[in-house]
Structure 1
Amino acid sequence: MTDTTIAFTPAEWAPQSAIWAGWPHLKDAWAEDYEGAQREIAALIAALAPVVRVKLVIGDPASRAEAADLVGDKAEMFDAPMGDIWLRDIGPVFVKYLNRLEGLGFEFNGWGGKYELEGDSETAAAIARLEGHPLKRLPFVLEGGAVEQDGEGVLITTRQCVLNPNRNPGWSQEKAEENLKLAFNAQRIVWLGDGLLGDHTDGHVDNIARFIAPGHVVCQTPSGDDDPNADVLREIEDTLRAAELQVSTIPSPGRILDEDGEIMPASHMNFLISNGRVILPVYEDEHSKLAEAELQALMPEHEVIALPSRHILSGGGSFHCMTQQVPQTDGGLST
C-alpha cells in the first residue's frame, strides 16, 4: 500500500499524459547507424502517437529538419540541452504527490565517467521546466534506467550499477537503500547482481527485469547454448523468485553481435509501456516472434508491438532507455 501523503513514482502502466523521446544529432558518435537510428525512432513515435502525446527533444537545431521529415506531425519538437538521446537516464523522473507532479533530478556523471557529453546534465531541468513542474535535485549519482518500480513500493536495482564506485564512491548497500527509499518512497528493495555483457551502463535493471503489474516481474531465459548471458539470466530469475515476487519469463534475443563481432547488450526487456501499448525492441533475432507472443499473453490488456531497434542498440540502449514518461495528474493514485 503506497502512502499517498508523500511522493511516489507511478508505475509505467499508469495513465500517461506524454512521452519524451530523444532525437539523435551526434553524427560522428552514431557513425553508420545515424540514419538507421533515426528511422527506428520515427517508427517508435508512429506507434506511440495514437495513444500518447509524444514530445521530441531536439538537442541540436540543425537536426530539426531531419526529424520533421521522418516524424511529421506525430510529435511536438522542443529545443533543449541534450548530449545524446538517453532521456531515461538524463531526464527527470516524475513522481506524484496527490494530483501534483515533481521531477527528480540526480547527479549525472556520464555512466561512471564513460560518456560525458555537453548538455546531458541540463536535460532534466529543461524537460521539467517545459512540463511546468518543479525539479527536486538529489545530491547523488543515479540514472533512471538503474531502478525499476511497481508503483506500490517495490524497487529493483543492481549492485553492479548502483554500488559501483564510479558512481558514488564509498556507498554501502545500506547507504544506497537509505537514499533510494527516501527518493522514491520505496518500501522494499530487491537487489540483483550483474547486468548484460557489453552494457556500458554497468548493468541497468531496465535491460534485465521489468515490472508488468504490482509484484509481477518479467525477465529473460537464455536462448540457446550460445547465449552469452545464459548464466547471468539464470541468476536473475533465481534471485527474483527467491524474493517471492511473481516471476514470468520470455526468451532473450540470444547472441547479437556488432559489425566488429563484439557482443551487444541486446534485450527484449527494454520495452516501453504507454497507455495500453507495449513497444518491444527486436534485433532481427530468431527469438523475437516468441518473445512478442509470450509478452502479449502476459499483458492481455495491452497491445504489444515489436519494432526493430538494432541501430539504436549500437548507441548502447533501446526504446526504454531513450524515453521518459510523464504520468497523468488526474489518473488516480496507486493503492
Structure 2
Amino acid sequence: MPPEEALHEGTWLQWPHNYGYDRKHIQRYEATWIHMARELSQGENVHIIAYDGEEKRRITAILENDASTNMRRVDFLIGKTDDVWVRDNGPIFVRDVQEHQLVVQNWLFNGWGKKADYHLCNEIPKLVGTNLNLPVIDVAMVNEGGSIELDGRGTLMAKKSSILNKNRNPGWTQANVEAYFHHYLGVTNFIWLDGVKGQDITDDHIDGTARFVNNGTTIVTVNPYDSLSRKEYNCLKNAQDADGKNYTIVHLPLTSRKLRRLRDWGTYINFYVANEVVLVPKYEDKNDRAAQEIIIEKLYPERRVVGVDALELAIDGGMIHCVTQQQPI
C-alpha cells in the first residue's frame, strides 16, 4: 500500500445526505465537503460518491456555482451509503507487485463493531473497483482505513483497541492480524499502541493520535503533556522503522479549549495530505493557526495548508482524514 504522501490520481469522498440516521447531515456537513472538493480539485481528481441520481444533480449544481472548483477534475459514482466515513469503509488501493497493477482491496467493515448502520457502506469498495475496472480482492478481516497508518517503507502503526477487539475480529491474535497486514499491505514491521476501547465509536483509531510524515521518517503526534497515555507517547518516541532507525517526533497542539457539545479537546493530527494541499481540521480555536504553521514549517513546506471546518465532524467522532480516501496513480 503506497503511503498517503505518494502521488494521487485522486481523492474519494462520500457526499453527505439526509437519508441515514441524521436527517440534517447536509445542513451540518455540506459546507465542509464543498470546501474539500474546491481545494482538492486544484491538484487532483475528486471522485464523489452520491447517494442517487437526484443527489448527483444537486451536488453538481452546487459545485458548478462555486467558481473555484475545477469541475474538469470532478466526477461522480452513484452508490447508496449509510454515512460519510469513506476512510473506514471505502476502498483501500494497493499495488500488486506480481501483476504490476493497482487493485482495490475490500476489507470487511462492520460499523466499528456494529455500533452503527454499515451494510450499504460495506459494498462501496466493490462498487468502486467495478467502476474503475480494477481487480477487487476480498479480505476476510474487519479493518477500517483509519485504524492503520503506513510509513511507505515497511512499517504499519495501529492500536490494539480497535483491531484486536472482539467486536471486530473475535478470537484473532496479534500474530494473525500481522500476517494479514504483511500479505495484503506488504509491511514487515509493526508499532502497536494499546488504545482505549470505548473511548469513541472507533475504539480509538490511530489517525487521531499519530501519523507518519516526511517520507516515513517522522511521526507527528500531540505534545507529551497532552497525551492521553504516557505509555503510548513513550512507545512512539522509542519506535523504530523497518531498518531499525528511530523516527523524528513532531508535536501538534490540541485546541486551547474543549469543543462545544463534545466536551473534549480537538486534535489536528487527523489531517489529509493531497498532491498540492494539506487539509487540516479547524475548530474556530486560537490554536488553529498555530497547528497550521507547524505543519507548513516542519512537515509540508511545499504544499498549501488549508484549515477546513471540522467541528460537526468531531462531534460525530471523526475529522478530515476520516472522510477522505486517496487513490494512488
Q: How much has 1:197 moved relative to structure 2?
A: 8.0
Contact 2:50 2:78 (C-alpha < 8 Å) held by counterparts: yes
- Select 2:28's aligned residue among 25, 33, 36: 36
Cα separation, 1, equivalents of 2:161 and 2:304: 33
1:199 is matched by which residue type in structure 2?
A: D
- Select 1:71's aligned residue among 56, 63, 72: 63
Q: Mapping of 1:93-172 within 5 angstroms?
A: 93-98=92-97, 99-172=100-173
1:170 aligns to what SS in structure 2?
Answer: coil
Residue number in structure 1 paired with 2:68: none
Residue 85 in 1 paired to residue 81 in 2? no
- TM-score computed with the length of structure 1 as normaliser: 0.86
Q: Mapping of 1:229-308 within 5 angstroms?
A: 230-232=226-228, 234-243=230-239, 244-253=246-255, 255-259=257-261, 262-264=262-264, 266-298=266-298, 299-308=300-309
Deviation sequence 1:240-297 (CA, Å, 0-9, x none) = 11113221111122543343xx435732111111113211111112211110000111
Contact 1:81 1:120 (C-alpha < 8 Å) held by counterparts: yes
Cα separation, 1, equivalents of 2:210 and 2:123: 28
- TM-score computed with the length of structure 2 as normaliser: 0.88
Contact 1:104 1:137 (C-alpha < 8 Å) held by counterparts: yes
Contact 2:49 2:79 (C-alpha < 8 Å) held by counterparts: yes
Deviation sequence 1:105-142 (CA, Å, 0-9, x none) = 11111110101234111101011112221110111111
1:159 is matched by which residue type in structure 2?
A: K
1:13 aligns to what SS in structure 2?
Answer: coil
Number of residue equivalences: 312
Residue number in structure 2 paired with 1:6: none
Cα distance change of structure 1 residues 132 and 198 upon mapping to structure 2, 3 Å threshold: same
1:206 is matched by which residue type in structure 2?
A: D
Q: How much has 1:233 moved relative to structure 2?
A: 5.5
- Select 2:11's aligned residue among 19, 24, 27: 19
Cα separation, 1, equivalents of 2:192 and 2:231: 12
Q: Mapping of 1:53-68 within 5 angstroms?
A: 53-68=45-60
Q: Which has the higher contact order (CA 8 A, sep 6+)?
A: 1
2:22 aligns to what SS in structure 1?
Answer: helix
Q: How much has 1:78 moved relative to structure 2?
A: 1.5
2:192 aligns to what SS in structure 1?
Answer: strand
2:124 aligns to what SS in structure 1?
Answer: helix
Cα separation, 2, equivalents of 1:178 and 1:81: 33
Cα separation, 1, equivalents of 2:315 and 2:272: 18
Residue number in structure 2 paired with 1:226: none
Residue number in structure 2 paired with 1:220: 222
| Amino-acid identity (%) | 27
Contact 1:39 1:70 (C-alpha < 8 Å) held by counterparts: no
Contact 1:255 1:263 (C-alpha < 8 Å) held by counterparts: no
Residue number in structure 1 paired with 2:243: none
Q: How much has 1:17 moved relative to structure 2?
A: 0.6
Cα separation, 2, equivalents of 1:63 and 1:258: 30
5+ long unaligned stretches in structure 1? 1-8, 224-229, 329-335
Q: How much has 1:196 moved relative to structure 2?
A: 9.7
Contact 1:140 1:168 (C-alpha < 8 Å) held by counterparts: yes
Cα separation, 1, equivalents of 2:263 and 2:171: 31
Contact 2:227 2:233 (C-alpha < 8 Å) held by counterparts: no
201-210 or 116-125, which moves further after superposition?
116-125
1:29 aligns to what SS in structure 2?
Answer: coil
Q: How much has 1:309 moved relative to structure 2?
A: 1.4
Contact 2:147 2:159 (C-alpha < 8 Å) held by counterparts: yes
Contact 1:148 1:156 (C-alpha < 8 Å) held by counterparts: yes
295-304 or 136-145, which moves further after superposition?
295-304
Cα separation, 1, equivalents of 2:196 and 2:275: 28
Contact 1:198 1:263 (C-alpha < 8 Å) held by counterparts: no
1:199 aligns to what SS in structure 2?
Answer: coil
Contact 2:20 2:83 (C-alpha < 8 Å) held by counterparts: no
Cα distance change of structure 1 residues 20 and 265 upon mapping to structure 2, 3 Å threshold: farther
